[in-house]
Structure 1
């Protein structure tokens, strides 16, 4: 049974006296060790404090510099780029509603600018680190795609980076379209597959599944085409592409 020891209790037996001495000795060793460790740390800090202050100061300067850059350089640059790109987007949107030579002219103006405003290519050259410049790569790629400049389209769409639900797969699919026009169906198929798998929505997914299926059929890959078409049929039965599935599915199955 445990017993309560009063404060100030003095050891009476020799065993208790020995135990008490050992406990005091152990405690003293612990404190001595801690004192030695603290002393070494203090000595190291004292010896290296110049370098420590330099490191702390450098880190502070980096943080302050980053904050200042964002506030006084990057943010105004983003605003200027967005303002400059407005006219180019107007030309691009108008080109979508036009046709023939008028459409080509508007796409070219969206690329090179007009009315004293930059085009998408100018935005890329002058505001390369901004979100607007990244968006300009997408629009430039699509403008080139619609004016039959396929290698330029591929280059700009490949430089476009986005997590957007729609634009990201459209860019990959646009690269597939460009490769098809360059008579490189194998490359086109890989980009259509990637575009279809990047997101799962009722707009881009069935769109590029169908393009992948048609390309696979043209390459004689009926089994792969059937897989794409079946997915449209099962997952997107109300899509526009679903109405075209039966005809292409028959072609794909006939290849077996």
Structure 2
């Protein structure tokens, strides 16, 4: 049977189909891009309107931040720095008396008292810690005061001052915690002493302070009847710090704790 094409109808060629599809895609893309930019324009307009409406508050916040920043810098320059220098000058005599007390074989208490309470018209550590609180010198004065009190048997006062001291120095910060342990031990509060010895042994691990406080922790634990813990501390000294002075009689302590 014969087949006839309808007049006026012409099948599109493949190329023409591609052109149509491309035009559709371009139109769609243009439409989507336009929508995105319109959305951005609307968002930007709203943001601008919000800034205009609230510019008084924005400028106020920025101004407040600037005032605080400038105030802090001025405070550091004209208040903190002069206080640091003044406190360091005040502390020189107290430090001298403290060192003489450490080195002396007799009369230590009187020298420690001079370091604590002042001499030669200069403040002692107690007053420096109070008057120059917030400065490096005032902070360090708490450490000195704590050690001086510890050496004169005033353990409660020692704990109070050492507890206020903080430092980034790994040795000094560890010694302060261990000294609090010593103060509790002298007060016969052995559980508290053990807690601080353990803390001092675990923080800032090094060959100087770690074996020292491991030994004190072991001895205190043994006194408390905690032989397993004591053995653990003594064994750690033997295995990790055999060249430390604390390891000299460590085998005997291990045997005692077993």
**Normalising by the residue count of structure 2, what TM-score does the alignment of the two structures yield?**
0.87
Deviations 1:99-142 (A, max 9, x none): 34x11000000001100111001111110010111111111000
Within a 5 Å distance, the mapping from 1:1-256 to structure 2 comes to 24-100=30-106, 102-253=107-258
Deviations 1:52-105 (A, max 9, x none): 1111111111111111111111111111111111111000000001134x1100
Number of aligned pairs?
240
SS at match of 2:122: coil
Distance, in Å, in 1 between the alignment partners of 2:67 and 2:131 is 28
- Going from structure 1 to structure 2, the CA distance change for 1:239 and 1:29 (only over 3 Å counts) comes to closer
Distance, in Å, in 2 between the alignment partners of 1:134 and 1:28 is 65
Gaps of at least 5 residues in structure 1 are 1-12
* Alpha-carbon offset, residue 198 of structure 1: 1.0
Which residue in the other structure is 2:15 paired with? Answer: none
Distance, in Å, in 2 between the alignment partners of 1:58 and 1:224 is 56
SS at match of 2:233: helix
Q: Tell me how large the CA RMSD over aligned residues is.
A: 1.8
Distance, in Å, in 2 between the alignment partners of 1:19 and 1:129 is 70
- Going from structure 1 to structure 2, the CA distance change for 1:17 and 1:159 (only over 3 Å counts) comes to closer
* Alpha-carbon offset, residue 252 of structure 1: 0.6
Distance, in Å, in 1 between the alignment partners of 2:32 and 2:185 is 82
- Going from structure 1 to structure 2, the CA distance change for 1:31 and 1:189 (only over 3 Å counts) comes to closer
Distance, in Å, in 1 between the alignment partners of 2:34 and 2:22 is 18
- Asked which structure has the greater CA Rg, the reply is 2
Gaps of at least 5 residues in structure 2 are 1-18
Matched-pair contact (CA < 8 Å) for 1:217–1:251: no
Distance, in Å, in 2 between the alignment partners of 1:20 and 1:214 is 85
